[in-house]
Amino acid sequence: MIKLGIIGAGRIGRVHTESISNYVPNAEIKAIADPFFAEKGKKWAAEMGIENIYLDYHKILNDSEIEAVLICSSTDTHAQISIEAAKAGKNIFCEKPIDHDLSKIKEVLAAVKKAGVKFQVGFNRRFDHNFKAVKEAVLAGKIGDPHIINITSRDPEAPPVEYVKVSGGIFLDMTIHDFDMVRYLSGSEVEEVYAAGAVLVDPAIGKVGDIDTAIITMKLKNGALAVIDNSREAAYGYDQRAEVFGSKGAVRVENDSQSTAVLSTADGVAAEKPLYFFLERYLQSFADEIKEFVLAVEKDLAVPVNGEDGLKPVLIGLAAAKSLKENRPVKLSEIK
């Protein structure tokens, strides 16, 4: 039984807490810390059966029984807490992105390396049943050499402008998952990015300097091309599709929905909308990524999504932002 500490009890912290309780039998959450814990939050944590509820995460770092921490706090605190946790000898599961700043990410990776602890990044979609099926088909050689990776990724509702302001921009906040997916599905690295963007959903997003609609084209090291299309708001819900096309064929995945029910009437033939958003669609993946993290800690295995995997999508995101600003393709080697 691995004892865990959760740092950050916001939405994603709670998702992890609940999925660990339900689905990760060989892990136990010994403590949870959040500087903003109100009564309601503490009550929730107590109901989840967590023994130690702290405001200060250092108490977790100082608890020698705790072997691993999940860093679920706000993005701007990921780097510092990660470094402290590494120094404290804790194995680390860090939510994405590690940071918006490359130098900070590199500091984290250096600290982790020095401490010799595990460091996994929260790219949960790699654990989704659909994307895993695509990956497996590609690995099994069923589509031959990848030529085109095509990802459609659209959120069901634009976030509030207050969120957008501190989000780091669409590429680091939303597309970062898709950049990871391009790397994961292609088995290759991005060399150059061209981003076209527009403000079509909410003018307020434009006013704070961000975009809400984008098409991002990438050239990969293995010669393949990749394209992502993003929207902050799809009226029909969370749209999460992907296709890898190659020399021998293509494999693609469609959205999941609540049931397979099809209703045929005089009005037409109707199916259900996709599952609403990431909590519904990726529920199982949140459990599965932690399961594999815990297994890596327990058996001293390599983590399935490492520090490099955390760094690279940030690099691509920064290149995309630069491309959008300068309206030209940007090589990743330009990003320092």
Residue numbers 199-228 binding its own copies by CB under 8 A? 200-201, 213-215, 217, 219, 223-227
Find tokens 């609609």 and name the residue.
213
Q: Report the nearest approach of its own copies to the CB of residue 67 (Å).
A: 21
Nearest distance in Å: CB 171, its own copies: 15
Nearer Cβ to its own copies (62/327): 327
Q: Which of 59, 165, 252, 322 binds its own copies (CB under 8 A)?
A: 252
Q: Calculate the CA 126 to chain-centre distance.
A: 9
Least distance (Å) between residue 19 CB and its own copies: 11
248 CB burial (10 A radius; 0-12, 13-18, 19+): exposed
**Cβ closer to its own copies: 158 or 161?**
158
Q: What is the DSSP letter of 333?
A: G
Q: Out of 58, 113, 129, 325, point to the residue binding its own copies (CB under 8 A).
A: 129
> Per-residue x/- mask for its own copies, residues 266 to 295, rule CB under 8 A?
xxxxxxxx----------------------
Cβ neighbours around 160 below 10 Å, total: 11
CB of 23 to its own copies, least distance (A): 7
Q: Which of 134, 172, 190, 324 binds its own copies (CB under 8 A)?
A: 134
Measured from the CB atom, the residue of 87 and 241 that comes closer to its own copies is 241
Phi/psi at 330 (nearest 5 deg)? -125, 130
- C-alpha distances in Å from residue 257, one per residue of 240, 279, 281: 11, 13, 8
* Site for its own copies contains 263 (CB under 8 A): yes
Asked if 46 is part of the footprint of its own copies (rule: CB under 8 A), the reply reads: no
Collect all residues with Cβ–Cβ distance below 8 Å to 203 and sequence separation of at least 6.
none
* Shortest Cβ 129–its own copies spacing (Å): 5
**Interface with its own copies: number of residues (CB under 8 A):** 71
Among 78, 154, 291, 312, binds its own copies (CB under 8 A): 154
Among 39, 65, 116, 259, binds its own copies (CB under 8 A): 259
Mention every residue, 6+ apart, whose C-beta is less than 8 A from residue 89. Answer: 115, 117
State which of residues 64, 74, 247, 333 lies at the interface with its own copies (CB under 8 A).
247
Least Cα distance to 123 among 315, 294, 332, 290 occurs for 290
Q: What does 16-47 look like in DSSP terms, one character per residue?
A: HHHHHHHH-TTEEEEEEE-TT--HHHHHHHHH
129's enclosing H/E stretch is helix 129-139
Asked if 143 interacts with its own copies (CB under 8 A), we say yes
Binding to its own copies (CB under 8 A) within 294-333 occurs at: 327-329
Q: Residue 258 and residue 275: Cα distance in Å, rounded?
A: 6
